[in-house]
Structure 1
Amino acid sequence: MTATDQPVRCCVLWFPEWPVTAWALAEGGYADEPVAVVEANLVVSCSAAAHAEGVHSGQRRREAQACCPALRVAPADIDRDYRMFAPLVDLLEQVSPGVQVIRPGLVALRMRGPARYYGGEQPAAAVLLAAMTQAGMAGVRAGIADGMFTAEQAAYDSEPIRIVPPGAAAAFLSSLSVNRLGDAELAELLPRLGVHRLGDFAALDAGLIRDRFGERGARLHALARGRDPSAVRPRTPPVDLARQIDFSPPLELIDQIAFAVRATAEEFIAGLNDRQLVCTELRVGLSSEEGEHSERVWLHPAAFDSAAVVDRVRWQAQAAAGSQLGSGVVRVRLEPAAVDAVSHHAPGLFGTGPDERVHHVVSRVQAMLGADGVVTAVIGGGRRLVERQVLVSWGDRAMPPSPSDRPWPGHLPAPLPATVFDDPRVVAVVDAGGAGVGVDERGVLSAPPAVLVDAGRRRPIIAWAGPWTMDERGWDPVRHRRAHRFQVVDDSQTAWLLLCDDEGQWQAEGRYD
């Protein structure tokens, strides 16, 4: 290996169990209580308190809860991990520029510059850890070695700062398990071949490794030998588009908060305009005097302006008062969750006409009535027509609780009735002799339907079809529902959609106008 091929001295900082820490920062929880972050029913991170009870990464959720009945389970959220980690990366770059984020909770940087500036590798690493300690991140560990891979393994050591001397990477790695390579196939195969340590793997012939495992195996073999060809690639710091305002003393009244945040909202929109951007999804964060936190992402049918931002802050403060926030607000943070080029939202040559006027009027009404004062209808999933009518607030993402793209066996296919009754109308269906028509357990009619009685009016039936049985939640005796659908046409050529339950009670679900 020539001098130019020598791995660069790197420093890797490791934040142990970062997903748990990120959850605590985002949700206002405590990382010192038994907490486990779970993804795909497996534990991906756990707090020290949970680990002391026998919980560990890779464990099934049910097994973890059996080990620790008081375990608090939080879902994994990679966006949350990155979002909570970004301020710490910004702080590290103030101490030493050129930071590469390997993943949330793990960063790398070249060590040559910081070591010269702070008088050595040990003092430089101590300054980095001190900056993190001041930010409230205790327990961060640093590893310094030739190459990123060796430095990362050194950071996993129990010491706060572990320095592997130049040229000693292979000796340091030799005693580590082959699991450290992060390759599931090799981690399973090599121990069966009697290769348990990285030193054993490094001693194998490089040509044979390449022939057996290809370029991937050759790269991992080089890592085991302490020859890491990868270099630190510093990130390009993103432009800070977020704005924040702090209140002292805390503000208790909703109108006070809305008035105080107005100038910050205008500055927020101006910062986006300077970069030819508009905000289509806005994240609003409210923090209270007692450390409580409320966060929500708001959507807009077009793009936010300063007035719309102030409205969202007001609505969120109203919704959070007394539930999420029990004390005065001390901080409001505005952050664009999604942006778009301003050119995509510029009016056309002849304007947007009616759409623009409708949007203006609806937004004004919503500003007066609140977030839920103006709603739009979307089609959801379900078997009954009433269940498929879902109302969402104007501007919110249409996410029905029951998606319409599910199979829904027994649902009514198109075309659907033009009129759907919010409360199904009670009707009666009788046969030619005037007796009520019913359906037995096997779905057989007691007699052909002859007359539909609606609000006392008798409507002769000239055509009918059915029944189509809907049998829902048969496993649940409390919520079990069974009904039979019919389509009938009366003598005025009006078509009806009817439901008949097992007791012979009839309802009109809709009408084909």
Structure 2
Amino acid sequence: MRLIVLWCPDFPAAAATTAAGLAPTAPVAVVEDNRVAVCSATARADGVRRGHRTRQAQNLCPELVVIEADPDRDAAAFEPVAAAVEDLVPGIEILRPGLLAMGARGPARYFGGEEVVAERLVDAVEAQAGIECQVGAADTVYAATLAAHRGVLVPPGQTAQFLAPLDIRELDQPAEPRAGWAEFVDLLRRLGIHRLGDLAALPATDVTTRFGPRGVLAHRRASGIDEHAPDRRQPPADLAVAQEFDPPLERVDVAAFAAKTLGETLYNGLAARGLACTRLAITATTEKGRARERIWRCAEPLTVAGTVDRVRWQLDGWLRATGPAALGSGITTLRLEPVEVLAGEALQLDLLTNAAETSLAERAGRAMVRVQGVLGPDGILLPHLSGGRTPNDQVRLTPWGEATDTDATVDHPWPGRLLPPTPTTTPPDKPAAGVFDATGEPVRVVRSVLSAPPHTVQLAGFPRRAVASWGPPWPLFERWWTTTNAHRTVRLQVVLTALDDTGELALLLGGDGHRWWVEGTHD
């Protein structure tokens, strides 16, 4: 099938620039896991590249604006682009924010050729959405995407010839990360396969025997043929799921919860029939009777998380959109329909119930979904270990089902961080404490040195307790490079003597030089 792909270069960086209110020429880097995922052309001119660590990128470009990755923000920003394209060519399919595809045959006939379609698409997106884009065409989605990266319209029937001289690294697309593909591509290079044409020239059976399913997909891509076998099934009509909302959906957080529930229902219905979705249609109907539909095309069969993410992204884009792309009123009906499915050989069904086999974790997850339905999305919070210097930074709470913050990783050095043993309790309100010397005067900190050894400690609501032992204070100066968020903290560990009915008490105290507070207690 002949396809046209529209690609917006560095789209996450452009979306982050717009959301932050920065100038289009500002050097911006979108980071994920403390590494640059996407950067603007201005940042690249200073040497910033994908994969650089944040500090390395800032050394190369001191003016660099670092913004955390946010798929929801990207999806919302891409909705005006999709609306501009859809006004010109109906039936578009979103591959991911920043990349969409459409059939080439109809538009080429209507406008008089693929070149004319490409010109009109570029002009429409720039005029209506203010985003630069490139267009490519080929016989497969993968080849058309690579063609869009180069602004090339590959002639029909010459997709394999177009792919042959390209580097084998093109199999591992940074914007479409897949587990194990970087290592797989590195193995191919070490085996002497440096071009896509080299891989396509190998017998398909040999590649399958040596590399398994990953090799099959790579060989099909390199050969310029469809990534999946052509025997796709038409999904039964009863697999579509829908939900009505009263009152209508208008808030993004409520829409995210609805997306989770409906997406899991669709996935479970497909899994029960041994099917997996590769093209998903999302349709929303508003209070005023206006219907909007988007189709998401996926390179691999959608998982539960993949289904939920795409529904949430699309709802986020619709609800946040302004101007011609805005819905104009709340969503009253949401419908999900699998447009294209594959036989889900990897889905193991229960022999007796014919239901999708689930692990204990999945069953617990479904129970949590029901609890969230009663308490709300923030009703269940899970602790996650993370990097940081203070006890509260080292454990973070996130709503169940949401992506965890992996920017502050545990493996980082974190100079000045609290060393084991960590406190067993960290009060969120950080109650005040008084630290006094032998004369009863408050102990202060001057240039990281105590004004006098601590003799007693006063906790709110309790009598003063003598200090049995204490550790030297150590300072923490964070975000020293900023003028608004920089702050100094001094931490002090003390052990208080036992009272009549209690034993010794070990505390971690924090201070700013003039006052003290309790950051944690040790059992």
What CA distance in whole angstroms lies between the structure 1 residues aligned with 2:66 and 2:162?
A: 37
1:180 aligns with 2:170: yes
2:140 pairs with 1:147:
yes
Distance 1:117 1:205 in 2: 40
Shift in alpha-carbon separation, 1:202–1:465, aligned structure 2, 3 A: same
2:359 alignment partner in structure 1? none
Distance apart, 1:336 and its partner CA: 9.3
Q: Which has the higher contact order (CA 8 A, sep 6+)?
A: 2
Q: Which residue is equivalent to 2:215?
A: 217
The match for 1:167 is 157
Deviation at residue 108 of structure 1 after TM alignment: 1.1
Within the candidate set 485, 494, 500, 1:484 is matched to 494
Q: Cα 1:275–1:413, aligned 2, differ >3 Å: closer, same or farther?
A: closer
Q: How many correspondences in the alignment?
A: 327
> Could you say if the C-alpha distance between residues 108 and 171 of structure 1 is closer, same or farther in structure 2, counting changes exceeding 3 Å?
same
Match of 2:20?
A: 27
Aligned residues of 2:391 and 2:423 also touching (Cα < 8 A):
yes
Q: Which residue pairs with 1:102 in the alignment?
A: 95
Mapped partners of 2:158, 2:218: distance in 1: 18
Q: 1:468 to 1:40 in 2, by over 3 A?
A: same
Alpha-carbon distance in 2 for matches of 1:114, 1:428:
86
Structure 2 matches for 1:3-18, cutoff 5 A?
A: 8-18=1-11
Which AA in structure 1 matches 2:492?
R
The 3-state SS of whatever aligns with 2:94 is strand
Residues in 1 aligned to 2:439 and 2:503: alpha-carbon distance in whole angstroms: 14
Letter in 2 for 1:88: V
- Residue 204 of structure 1 aligns with which residue? 202
Distance 1:453 1:196, change over 3 A: closer
**Are the aligned partners of 1:487 and 1:498 in contact in 2 as well (CA < 8 Å)?**
no
Q: Which amino acid aligns with 1:39?
A: E
Residues 508 and 111 of structure 1: is their aligned pair in 2 closer, same or farther, counting only changes over 3 Å? Answer: closer
Cα distance in 2 for partners of 1:414, 1:168 equals: 66
Measured in 1, the distance between the counterparts of 2:120 and 2:457 equals 85
Q: 1:53 to 1:415 in 2, by over 3 A?
A: closer
Deviation at 1:61, TM superposition (A): 3.0
Query: TM-score by structure 2 length?
Result: 0.51
Q: Amino acid of the residue matched to residue 145 of structure 2?
A: E
The answer to whether the aligner puts 1:116 opposite 2:130 as a matched pair is no
Counterpart of 2:203 in structure 1: which amino acid? D
| Aligned counterparts of 1:469 and 1:382: Cα–Cα separation in 2 | 19
SS in 1 for 2:468: strand
Following superposition, the deviation at residue 66 of structure 1 comes to 3.2
Between the aligned partners of 2:193 and 2:422, the Cα distance in structure 1 is 59
2:60 is equivalent to residue 67 of structure 1: yes
Secondary structure of the 1:156 match is helix
Alignment identity in percent?
34
Q: CA 1:483/1:175 → structure 2, altered by over 3 Å: closer, same or farther?
A: closer
For residues 51-83 of structure 1, the C-alpha deviation after alignment (integer angstroms, 9 at most, x for no partner) is 222222223333333333332322222222122
Judging changes above 3 Å, is the alpha-carbon distance between structure 1 residues 109 and 473 closer, same or farther for their aligned structure 2 residues? farther
Question: 5 Å matches for 1:295-444?
Answer: 422=432, 424=434
Give the drift of 1:143.
Answer: 0.6
CA distance in 1, matches of 2:517, 2:38: 53
Per-residue displacement from partner, 1:134-179 (whole Å, max 9, x unpaired)? 124353111111111111111011x4xx211111111111111111
Instruction: Call closer, same or farther: CA 1:59–1:277 in 2, change over 3 Å.
Output: closer
Residue 228 of structure 1: aligned partner: 226
Q: Is the 8 A contact 1:170 1:226 kept in 2?
A: yes
- Counterpart of 2:56 in 1: which secondary structure? helix
Q: Take 1:173 and 1:472, find their aligned partners in 2: how far apart are those partners?
A: 63
> Post-superposition shift, 1:475?
7.2
Q: Does 1:128 align with 2:121?
A: yes
- Determine the C-alpha separation between the residues in 1 that align with 2:25 and 2:37: 17
| Amino acid in structure 1 at the alignment position of 2:193 | V
Stretches of structure 1 that go unaligned for 5 or more consecutive residues are 1-7, 234-270, 284-329, 347-380, 388-398, 431-445, 502-506
**Secondary structure, aligned partner of 1:45:** strand
RMSD of the alignment, in Å?
Answer: 5.1
The change in CA–CA distance for 1:420 and 1:497 in structure 2 (over 3 A counts) is farther
Q: Structure 2 unaligned runs (5+)? A: 173-180, 234-243, 257-321, 335-368, 376-388, 394-404, 409-416, 441-452, 478-487, 510-515, 519-523
Q: CA deviation digits over 1:182-238, x for unaligned, max 9?
A: 1313321222222211111111121111111112202211111111245999xxxxx
Matched, 1:87 2:80: yes
Q: Distance in 2 between matches of 1:415 and 1:86?
A: 43
3-state SS of the aligned residue for 1:204?
coil
Q: Deviation at 1:471?
A: 5.6
| Partner residue in 2 for 1:305 | none
For residues 209 and 134 of structure 2, the distance between their equivalents in structure 1, rounded to whole angstroms, comes to: 38
Call closer, same or farther: CA 1:94–1:413 in 2, change over 3 Å: same
Which amino acid is the alignment partner of residue 60 of structure 1?
A: R
Query: SS in structure 1 opposite 2:93?
Result: strand
Q: Secondary structure at the match of 1:135?
A: helix
Q: Secondary structure at the match of 1:89?
A: helix
Aligned in 2, Cα 1:277/1:468: closer, same or farther, shift over 3 Å? Answer: farther
Q: CA 1:189/1:508 → structure 2, altered by over 3 Å: closer, same or farther?
A: closer
Distance 2:508 2:29 in 1: 49
Q: CA–CA distance in 2 between the matches of 1:336 and 1:65? A: 42
1:21-66 residue CA offsets vs partner (Å, 9 max, x unmatched): 0111111112312222222232222222222222222233333333
What is the SS of the residue equivalent to 2:36? strand
Q: Is the 8 A contact 1:36 1:71 kept in 2?
A: yes
**Contact 1:173-1:198 at 8 Å conserved across structures:** yes
Contact kept in structure 2, 1:281 and 1:336, CA below 8 Å:
no
Report the TM-score when normalising by structure 1. 0.51
Q: Which residue of 1 aligns with 2:385?
A: none
Q: Which has the larger radius of gyration?
A: 1
Do 1:410 and 1:469's aligned partners in 2 also have CA atoms closer than 8 Å? no
The whole-number CA distance in structure 2 between the counterparts of 1:34 and 1:11 is 30
Cα deviation code 1:72-98 (max 9, x no counterpart): 322222222122112221332222222
In 1: Cα distance, 2:121 partner to 2:517 partner: 71
1:191 corresponds to which of 186, 189, 192: 189
Cα offset, 1:10, TM superposition: 0.5
Q: What SS does structure 1 have at the residue aligned with 2:246?
A: helix
